[in-house]
Structures are given as C-alpha cells and as structure tokens.
A and B are shown apart, each in its own frame.
Chain A
Amino acid sequence: MSQLPAPVQLVMRRLARHLAIGLFLDLWPTWASVGLLVSGTVALVCRMFLSSAAPILPWLWLTPILIALPTLGIVWRRAYRPHEVAALADSLGGGQGVLLTLLETDHSAWARSPLLEKGSAVALPRLRLRRALTPLVPAVAFLAVAMMLPQRMRTADTNPILAEQIAADLSAAVVELKQQELITPAEEQRLEQEIERIRRSAEERVDASSWEAADALREQVVAGLSEKQDAVKWAQDSLARLAAAADGSGASPDAQAAELTKALEKLAQSGMLAAAPADLRKLLKDGKLPADPAALRDLAAALGKYLSETNGRFAGLGKLGKEFGRFDPSEFPVGTEPGTNGDGLPGNGGISRGRGDAELTWGKETQPFDRFKSKPLPPGAARTPDDWSPVMVLPGSPQESATLSGQSDARQYSATAGQGAWRRSLAPRHQTAVKKYFDKNDKNDKQEKKDKQDK
C-alpha cells in the first residue's frame, strides 16, 4: 500500500479501521451477551447454593472484557486484506474501480489526475453502534438482577461464631467449677475435651444436636455435682451420727465408724477429698479412720469444717448461677424430683417439665368412678307376619275368593281338572272314543284291585 498516493492511503487506512471495528462489533456483542448470560446463570447458582463464592461474584462483570480478548484475535485473523479494502472503497465510492487499479498497476502517470481525487473520495460507512450493542442489554440486565439477588444462607450451615459461643458457655461453667474447687483436674481435662468435641461439631454444622450435646454435658456436670453433694451430705450425717454414738446417745460407735469410713470412701471416689486441706488428708491416712480417740476427734473437727466449707461452695455456686450468664445447676434438675409445675409426673408437660426420656402419657386417665356405666338396651320386639297388611291392591293382581278360601288348590280344581285341555286337544268326534277307552281301563283297574283284595 506504500505505493499509493497519500490521500488514498489515508482513506484506505480509515476504511480498514472502520472495517476492523465493524468486524469486532459483529462478533463481540453476541459473544459477550452469551458470556454475560452464562455469568448471570453462575451468579444465580452461587446466590442460591454456593454462599462461599459470594465475594468473587463481582468479578463476573469482567466477562465481556475477557471475551473481547479472543474476539480481537479473531478480528486480527479475519481482517480485511488490502485489495478487499480497496474493493469496498471502490464500491462505496461509486464503483469506479480506481483504488483496485492503483493497487494492481503502475499508476505513476496518473499521479496528478483528477481521477485519483475522485477515486479517493470515499464516504466511510456509518457505524450502527446502537444496533450492534442491543443484544448486550438483556444480558447485562440478567447479570445485574442475578447479582442483586440476596445471598441465600443455609440454616444448617457452618457457623463458627455460634460454635465458639456454645464452647465458651461450657468453658465458663468449667472455670467456675474449678474456681469453686468442685471438680478434679482429671474431670476438668475430660470436660475440656468434651467441650472441644462439641465446638468442632458445631463448627461443621450448627443445629439442634449441638445445643442438645451442650445441655447433655451440663446435665452430666450437674449429675456429678449432685453425686458429690450427696457424698458430702452422707459424710456429714455419718460424722454427726458417729459423734452422737461417741456420746452414747446413738448406735454403736463401731458401726457408725464403719459407715463414716464408707462415706469417706465415697467422698474420695467423687474426688472431693483431693481438694481437702493437707492436714485433713494426713489425718485420714489412706481414707481410714484413726484408732486414737484424740486423733479421731481432730479428724472429726477438721472433716466437719471441710464439709461445711464444701457445702458452702455448693450453695455459693447456686447463688452465683442466678446471675445472668453464669452456670446454674438448678436449671438441670437431676432425678425425678418434682419439676417446676409440681406434679412430678414424667412426660406430662412441655419441654421445661419432666425429662425427655420419660414414659409418654396421654394425659390423666379417667378415674374408675367417672367411667361410663354399662346400660343394657331394652329387649327387641320381633315382628309377626300379622303385622304386615297390604297397603293397596293393584288391578290385575290375583283376587282371593271368599268361597274357595281355605281349600287346597287340588280340591279347588279337581272337578274340572284336565277338562279344558281335553276339550281343546280332541276333536268332538274322537272324544267319545277316548272317554270310553279310559273308562274301560278304569273299570278294569277297579276290577283287578277288587280281585286282588278278594284274593
């Protein structure tokens, strides 16, 4: 194209640029629309099912730009060649074929010819941008709508905040028990392991089971506390009875000492002696009562003091639990003690009354004196055929003859039996002969019967 005159080169360059833009706009809006529709669908799916992809969704707006890159490559590959540009320029300029000729021939003689000016006067084609970009509008709208949709959150989705909260509540209860010296280090370690397990489980999925597991752990803690409290109470009672026996007002001292020993064993098993003062543990000597009465008195005094302090800690735990956010053992009643409604019947109420695993009842049964009495029905009255009477007599129905009433049918028609048939089937001239025949036979029969009787 370098051999072309400068004005022609300019025209050709401008037309080639126009054609390239036209080629790009032929391809890109359609492909970008498809890309935007696909992006919109992806955004829609992410909004509905994939909440974790929400932060990257705005990047989908870059789809048209990404699509523009391969489009540019294709435009570059399909670009109009110089002779195609010249042909189009010639066609647009009135079909003179000047530019094509300039490309193909040595035109030096025509350098200053008006023919060249005429040939280079090409009206560049108009770019119909609006028509080209129209397909993008619905696609952009679709993606915009898809992006504006609120993110759908799954109810059973992972929620680390909730999991941390559940674990924190449980840990606070453990810390509180530890401060009150109501749990042993081993128990504390086990509880912490349980709390960690619940926390991990809740991080994966927070649902009713997470809360139930936390409540179960609290109930377990409360049950342990109750057991310890019982052991402390038993030890106190046993100590009191031993003191009374020593004064001679109770049972034998040996029996009470044995009971106190068992109570102390129980206390040791519950771990409550682990937190006892060192002098008390020294007096107990492996959980056995000293034989020396003086040492026994000292032990009783120290033990009584310790048990009183322990009871005080239990009471203090109950009082602190009433404060907001503190662990309250009374929220988890142990055993079958009467609930807040006071009826003491299992399964007889809502979630706040009775245990969940209690026997299911359908409410209060009817008391025997309130039940319905059986009441016999009056005897039935059997109807007789006489009770039935004709309601009406239709014309054509058989009429009862008063004269023949009570006679049998055979008797009623015997006199004329067969007469009608006789008359109907035999000609009159034969009737006499037939009658004679039967009469004769009849007579013969009678005679034979008579002979037989005679014989």
Chain B
Amino acid sequence: VTDAVQTLLAPDRVAGGQAKISRVVHQLRRVIIGKEQVIDEVVTALLARGHVLLEGLPGLGKTELVKALSKLLSLEVRRIQFTPDLLPTDVTGSHILQEREGRREFVFHPGPIFTNLLLADEINRASPKTQAALLEAMQERRVTTFGETRPLPAPFFVLATQNPIELEGTYPLPEAQLDRFMFKVDIAGVDQAVLEEILVTRVHGDPPALEPVLTASDLIDLFSLVDAVHLPRGVANYAARLVAASHPASPQAPESVKTFVKYGASPRAAISIGAAARSLALVGGKPNVGFDEVRRVAAPAMAHRLVLDYAARLEGWDGRRVVAALLESVPEVERGLPRTLEAR
C-alpha cells in the first residue's frame, strides 16, 4: 500500500481525456481501414510519450498513419528516408561556416530531427553510425553536436518503419536502439473485406482530408492526465514479475523462456509497460491501471526487447509468442488462490 493516499483522477477529467483520444482514434480509423489494433497501439504509445517501431510490408499504410497523426495532432512532422549513405549529420544537423557581420563563424543548421514527429522510414537501411545518431534524441530528447547540446521540441516522437523481408543491404537495429522504442507494432496484411472497403471509399487510394482535432495544449493536457492515472501496487507487481520472468535465469521463467530466450527484457521494458498501461487505461476511460491493461501492452512493449536464441528461430518462436507464454504462466496476483478454490 502506498504511503501517501493519492487522489484519483476526477471522472470528468477522465471522460474529457477519453473523448479527445476517441476523436483522434476515430479519425485515424477513417484513414487506416482495418487496422484498429495498430491504431490503438500507436496512439497508446504516443500518449505515453514513447517511440514506435512499425514493422510491415510496403503498402500497408505505415507512412500514411504517421502523416495522419501529424495532421490530427497539429504536430510538425519530418521524414527521413534512411539509406546506407545517410550520415549522422543528415539527421541531427551540422555546423556550417558562415559570414555574419564581417565575421566568419560556425552556424548550426538543425537537421530534420528537430521536429515533433519524426518519420524514420526504413530505419534499418542506414548504417549503425547513423542509427546511433538517434540514440540520444530518442532517450533524452536532445541532440549534441560539436559539443553543444540542444533540446528537441516537445513533444518529440520517432515513428520508425522497417521492412521485414528485404534484408539484403540492411543493418538490423542494435539492441540499445530497439530498447528505446516503447512499442514495436507489427502491421499485418489486410483481408478481403478491408480491401473491398478501401476500393469503394478511396479514389486512387487517397485518404480523406483530415483536420486537426487536438492542439498542442490538448496534447500536453493528455500527457498530464496519463501521468495521473493510478497504477496500483498489485498491478505494478504483476508487470515487474512479467519482466523478471522474461530472463532465463529467473526462477519464475517458463520453460519456453528458458529454452528460447538468451537475454530478457530490460527495466526500460517495465517502465514502458507501466506508462503504456496508464495510457491505455485513459484510452479506455479508466482512472486506474488494471491487470488487463498490462496484459494488453505486454506484447508490443516486450517482444522486441527479448534477445532470442537461434533455437527460437529454428522452432518458429518469435518475441510475441514468448510473451504470450509469459502471460500464460505468470499469474496476475503473486499470491494466488488456494488449491482448493477454482476461479469460475
């Protein structure tokens, strides 16, 4: 039990926040048809001020989703197409020698990273050196060049995309980079009904015109609401046990983790789960986090943080399947029911 009694968010504030989020989600669903779960996960991550890695085949609406978000949230958006010859200064910006008032001096020209919403398209095509240019920006939301550190505009999000099939000439993201993404959202293909809907509603595939539904102040207000969502200690305990059990050396680790996982999720994963669960609770109109929210955000928050063994690839196990096994084996409450009681 917490030492100081917190005050629960007022119902009207929760309802107001939920209404704003619903407007965003509704508009996004107009743009991206048949991807409700992807939209929910991306919105959840953005409200939790997390970065998102979108992985999917070309043409599934990844870029469209980012563009729609930027329009709806009234955010400045920049796009960087990552290529092997992209340099770090192409991302962060560089100092250029300029003459001012008869004096020559280095003037910093900010790169495209100085924006609210950065679309890092095909991030795995850039060299590790260029990928590393994002590390400081993603974690600390600042950029250091020539020994000068500059803050990034708030809010700052990175929505990166990567193609899972074209692996030639790519540089897989290092673990440190992956760990900085709150969610990794897998974008699967669409079924026949969705395709039919797209054909009927879209001409040349153009999305409907969007108007901003949230201002910057609304977004900041939403952020404060998310932070105020109550995370009960019992639920936090569940999230902590989930992350701890993802390590093969943990006594609570299930057999699949011991077999297929080389390194478990980091503490940053637990932090991401907590933040995302708060965000998801607000999306659902709740003033508190429950076990259900933790279960729903566990897969996108943890799957990409697990370093799997080669055996996992051979056996067809991926991060999401391991997390599903974790959710199956780790009980929500540490001290469960007595053996003679059975949940209905």
**Do residues B230 and A26 form an inter-chain contact, with CB atoms below 8 A?**
no
Q: Give the distance to chain A from B224, nearest Cβ to Cβ, in Å.
A: 17
List the B side residues contacting A94 at CB < 8 Å.
290, 292
List the B side residues contacting A80 at CB < 8 Å.
335
The segment out of B54-62, B64-72, B281-289 that lies at the interface is: B281-289
Say yes or no for A50: interface residue by CB 8 A criterion: no
The segment out of B147-155, B169-177, B186-194, B232-240 that lies at the interface is: B232-240
Say yes or no for B339: interface residue by CB 8 A criterion: yes
Say yes or no for B195: interface residue by CB 8 A criterion: no
List the A side residues contacting B1 at CB < 8 Å.
83, 103-104
Within 8 A of B (CB), among A76-98: 80, 83-84, 86-88, 90-92, 94-98
- Give complex CA distance A97, B341 in Å: 21
Say yes or no for B205: interface residue by CB 8 A criterion: no
Say yes or no for B7: interface residue by CB 8 A criterion: yes
Within 8 A of B (CB), among A108-127: 109-110, 113, 115, 123-127
**Do residues B342 and A128 form an inter-chain contact, with CB atoms below 8 A?**
yes
Within 8 A of A (CB), among B197-233: 230, 232-233
- Give complex CA distance A51, B291 in Å: 63
Say yes or no for B165: interface residue by CB 8 A criterion: no
Q: Give the distance to chain B from A129, nearest Cβ to Cβ, in Å.
A: 7
Say yes or no for A160: interface residue by CB 8 A criterion: no
Contact of B291 among A95, A104, A107, A128 (CB under 8 A): A95
Say yes or no for A411: interface residue by CB 8 A criterion: no
Residue of B nearest to A88 (CB): B333
- Give complex CA distance A96, B331 in Å: 15
- Give complex CA distance A103, B335 in Å: 18
**Do residues B342 and A104 form an inter-chain contact, with CB atoms below 8 A?**
no
Q: Give the distance to chain A from B318, nearest Cβ to Cβ, in Å.
A: 25
Say yes or no for A19: interface residue by CB 8 A criterion: yes
Contact with B along A12-47 (1 / 0, CB 8 A): 000000110111011000000000000000000000
**Do residues A125 and B343 form an inter-chain contact, with CB atoms below 8 A?**
yes
**Do residues A98 and B290 form an inter-chain contact, with CB atoms below 8 A?**
yes
- Give complex CA distance A75, B332 in Å: 23
- Give complex CA distance A90, B292 in Å: 10
**Do residues B8 and A107 form an inter-chain contact, with CB atoms below 8 A?**
yes
Residue of A nearest to B237 (CB): A87
Say yes or no for A247: interface residue by CB 8 A criterion: no
Say yes or no for B97: interface residue by CB 8 A criterion: no
Q: Give the distance to chain A from B66, nearest Cβ to Cβ, in Å.
A: 32
**Do residues B233 and A106 form an inter-chain contact, with CB atoms below 8 A?**
no
Given contacts A115-B286, A126-B344, A132-B340, A101 and B332 within 8 Å (CB-CB): no
**Do residues B11 and A113 form an inter-chain contact, with CB atoms below 8 A?**
yes
Q: How many residues of B contact A (CB 8 A)?
A: 36
List the A side residues contacting B2 at CB < 8 Å.
104
**Do residues B333 and A106 form an inter-chain contact, with CB atoms below 8 A?**
no
**Do residues A90 and B233 form an inter-chain contact, with CB atoms below 8 A?**
no
Interface SS, B side: loop
Say yes or no for B295: interface residue by CB 8 A criterion: yes
Contact of B341 among A83, A106, A125 (CB under 8 A): A125
Given contacts A26-B338, A87-B234, A128-B342, A97 and B291 within 8 Å (CB-CB): yes
Within 8 A of A (CB), among B1-36: 1-2, 5-8, 10-11
**Do residues A131 and B6 form an inter-chain contact, with CB atoms below 8 A?**
no
List the B side residues contacting A123 at CB < 8 Å.
343-344
**Do residues B333 and A129 form an inter-chain contact, with CB atoms below 8 A?**
no
Say yes or no for B314: interface residue by CB 8 A criterion: no
Residue of A nearest to B229 (CB): A101
**Do residues A19 and B337 form an inter-chain contact, with CB atoms below 8 A?**
yes
**Do residues B335 and A125 form an inter-chain contact, with CB atoms below 8 A?**
no
- Give complex CA distance A22, B1 in Å: 24
Residue of A nearest to B5 (CB): A106
Contact with A along B287-329 (1 / 0, CB 8 A): 1111111010000000000000000000000000000000000
Q: Give the distance to chain B from A69, nearest Cβ to Cβ, in Å.
A: 19
List the B side residues contacting A83 at CB < 8 Å.
1, 233-234
- Give complex CA distance A109, B6 in Å: 12
Say yes or no for A222: interface residue by CB 8 A criterion: no
Say yes or no for A105: interface residue by CB 8 A criterion: yes
Given contacts A80-B335, A98-B290, A26 and B340 within 8 Å (CB-CB): yes
Q: Give the distance to chain A from B9, nearest Cβ to Cβ, in Å.
A: 8
**Do residues A88 and B337 form an inter-chain contact, with CB atoms below 8 A?**
yes
Given contacts A83-B233, A104-B232, A90 and B341 within 8 Å (CB-CB): no
Say yes or no for A100: interface residue by CB 8 A criterion: yes
Q: Give the distance to chain A from B133, nearest Cβ to Cβ, in Å.
A: 40
List the B side residues contacting A21 at CB < 8 Å.
340
Residue of A nearest to B338 (CB): A22
Q: Give the distance to chain A from B46, nearest Cβ to Cβ, in Å.
A: 23
List the B side residues contacting A92 at CB < 8 Å.
343-344
**Do residues A90 and B8 form an inter-chain contact, with CB atoms below 8 A?**
no
- Give complex CA distance A131, B232 in Å: 34
List the B side residues contacting A98 at CB < 8 Å.
288, 290
List the A side residues contacting B338 at CB < 8 Å.
19, 22-23, 25-26
List the A side residues contacting B337 at CB < 8 Å.
19, 22, 88, 125
Q: Give the distance to chain B from A85, nearest Cβ to Cβ, in Å.
A: 10
- Give complex CA distance A404, B10 in Å: 152
List the A side residues contacting B234 at CB < 8 Å.
83-84, 86-87, 90, 97, 100
- Give complex CA distance A127, B341 in Å: 5
**Do residues A22 and B341 form an inter-chain contact, with CB atoms below 8 A?**
yes
**Do residues B339 and A26 form an inter-chain contact, with CB atoms below 8 A?**
yes
- Give complex CA distance A34, B289 in Å: 45
**Do residues A104 and B6 form an inter-chain contact, with CB atoms below 8 A?**
yes
Contact of B344 among A25, A90, A106, A125 (CB under 8 A): A125
List the B side residues contacting A91 at CB < 8 Å.
291, 331-333
Given contacts A91-B333, A104-B5, A105-B7, A96 and B292 within 8 Å (CB-CB): yes
**Do residues B235 and A97 form an inter-chain contact, with CB atoms below 8 A?**
yes
- Give complex CA distance A103, B291 in Å: 16
**Do residues B8 and A106 form an inter-chain contact, with CB atoms below 8 A?**
yes
**Do residues B333 and A96 form an inter-chain contact, with CB atoms below 8 A?**
no
List the A side residues contacting B342 at CB < 8 Å.
125-126, 128
Contact with A along B258-301 (1 / 0, CB 8 A): 00000000000000000000000000001111111101000000
A88-B333, A131-B340 given; name 17 further pairs at CB < 8 Å: A19-B337, A25-B340, A83-B1, A83-B233, A95-B292, A96-B290, A97-B235, A97-B291, A98-B290, A101-B230, A104-B1, A104-B232, A106-B7, A107-B8, A109-B10, A125-B344, A127-B340
Closest 8 CB pairs of A and B: A97-B290, A22-B338, A95-B291, A100-B232, A101-B288, A87-B234, A95-B292, A125-B341
Query: Could you name 15 residue pairs across A and B whose Cβ atoms are closer than 8 Å?
Result: A19-B341, A25-B340, A91-B333, A95-B291, A95-B292, A96-B291, A96-B292, A97-B234, A97-B290, A101-B288, A103-B232, A106-B6, A109-B8, A110-B287, A128-B340
* B contacts, CB < 8 Å to A: 1-2, 5-8, 10-11, 230, 232-235, 286-293, 295, 331-344
